[in-house]
Structure 1
Amino acid sequence: MSEPNALFSAALPFWGELSPEEQDQLLRACSPLTLAKGSVVHRQEQGCRGLLLLLSGQMRVYIASEEGREVTLYRVHAGEVCVMSATCLMDAIVFDVLMEAVEDLRALTLPSAALSRVLAAHPRAELFLYKTASERFSEIMWTMQQILFLGVDRRVAIFLWDEFLRCGDVLPLTHEAIARYIGSAREVVTKVLHYFAEEGIVALGRGKLTLLDREKLRARL
């Protein structure tokens, strides 16, 4: 249990305030989660899974219409905590979202039943939960503002800029994946990317994009 203890200590600011008995109870209750790329991590009808700490990989939190259109609200990366799978622990938040592994992922799950006892005894733990959820809602609002008020070309540019800063000059992304992330149609994204390629901003390859001119891309933001 030493590795999970170190992981939770780094990820949960209230961990040091818990008694050794409380820490031990949570460590005994936590369970590993391993999912392949494309797997559903969580959906509303599955109930309240609990708090997820990603060890490796990446997942996206999204909503989907009855017609099948998807809008990615935000993504969770390795080392980050996902609280949207534990919304049953937050009375003021009711939010129906889907979660998907966009890469093979490994995570630790703190079940809601075990975590609820800690939240009741430690206000700072509850504050952490709401603070983290609030930060995610800020990301959701930014996503919605982009969809409502920005053109697709600028949304693609913002997305690519953020990804190149995070991952480097080569992105292993398809046009369809980018469309899912920004909440647009693949055909529209393809047109924008071809235009960017004609402008010498990126080079398009099979299942990847390569950044050619950082300043030209910055000018599109």
Structure 2
Amino acid sequence: MTAPDTRIPSDDQLADLLPFWTDICPANRDELARHARVRRFAAGDMVQGCGYGCTGVIFLRSGSLRAFMMSDQGKEITLFRVEAGECCVLAASCVLPQITFDLALSAERDSELIAIDPACFGRLAEREVHIEAFTYRQALERFSDCMWVMQQVLFMSFDRRLAVFLLDELARTGSPTLAITHDQIARHLGSAREVVTRMLRYFASEGLIALSRGRIEVVDRAGLRALV
């Protein structure tokens, strides 16, 4: 894992990322800044969860983080991604004690973030209505993402789930060629690699995609949408 960067962020960096920064009183801004740190993670690093502890309330400056859950048997399922400029409060369970599940974060790309000590953030949320409102709004948005994943798992066939995933990746990357392995897709979808491989080969036989080592090229986007 990349060595942690413990720089204290500047007020300008905090103002750029924290939408409530200018709404809170100067004393609370100072306290928040004292408990914030800049952290850097390389692609593939664990950020928190799965035995890596709590990094804090995360505001992502650059890169991309994957939020996922892992079963006791080691099976993973992606719940949502945190992109540059976004926040993740669900992973800091001590801020929201009602959240009892263990959410893990890993870096999908080299990432830089500002992590705020969750105990400090929780104290300030009790004092500042703007922080409290932001926290619960963020939690609701991420909870909606989690419910969408649950809906797919419970009510969609696997071919539809896979088509949704590929279309989402196209929209996220902006490229018709996805640099992703069958094993990575299986982890995202909480499935077995063999199931993913079998369905991808079916999609290829139908002319929807073309497969090569570590890459998937979508050749019939409309056909994938028809499945969904």
TM-score by length of 2: 0.88
Q: Which residue of 2 aligns with 1:192?
A: 199
Unaligned runs of 5+ in 2: 1-6
User: What letter matches 2:227 in structure 1?
Assistant: R
Is 1:34–2:37 an aligned residue pair? Answer: no
2:15 is aligned with 1:9: yes
Whose helix proportion is higher, 1 or 2?
1
The amino acid of 1:178's aligned partner reads I
Distance 2:35 2:100 in 1: 25
Counterpart AA for 2:162: V
Native 8 Å contact 1:43 1:98 kept in 2: yes
Name the structure 2 match of 1:151.
157
Matching residue of 1:177: 184
The alignment partner of 2:146 has SS state of: helix
Conserved? CA contact 2:42–2:110, under 8 Å: yes
Equivalent position to 1:214, from 206, 221, 224: 221
1:65 matched to 2:65? The reply is no
The answer on 1:167 being equivalent to 2:173 is: yes
Inter-CA distance 113–2: structure 2 relative to 1 (3 Å threshold):
closer
Give the length in aligned residue pairs: 221
Contact 1:37 1:102 (C-alpha < 8 Å) held by counterparts = yes
Structure 1 residue aligned with 2:208, among 190, 201, 210?
A: 201
Aligned-partner Cα distance in 2 for 1:201–1:37: 30
- Computed over aligned residues only, the root mean square deviation of the Cα atoms, in angstroms, reads 2.1
Q: Give 1:95 shift.
A: 2.2
Residues 1:22 and 2:28 are matched in the alignment: yes
What SS does structure 2 have at the residue aligned with 1:85? coil
Distance 1:183 1:2, change over 3 A: closer
8 Å CA contact retained: 1:203, 1:209: yes
Return the letter of the residue paired with 2:196. Answer: V
Identity of aligned residues (%): 42
Q: Which residue of 1 aligns with 2:106?
A: 100
CA contact (8 A) 1:86 1:112 kept: yes
The corresponding residue for 2:59 is: 53
* Residues 48-105 of structure 1, C-alpha deviations (whole Å, 9 max, x = no match): 4321111222222222222221122222112210112322012332222222222222
Match of 1:109 among 111, 115, 129: 115
SS in 1 for 2:105: strand
Give structure 1 stretches of 5+ with no counterpart.
none
Distance, in Å, in 2 between the alignment partners of 1:115 and 1:3 is 15
| Equivalence for 1:136 | 142
Distance 2:186 2:42 in 1: 21
Bigger drift between 183-192 and 16-25 goes to 16-25
Q: Answer yes or no: is the 8 Å Cα contact 1:48–1:88 preserved in 2.
A: no
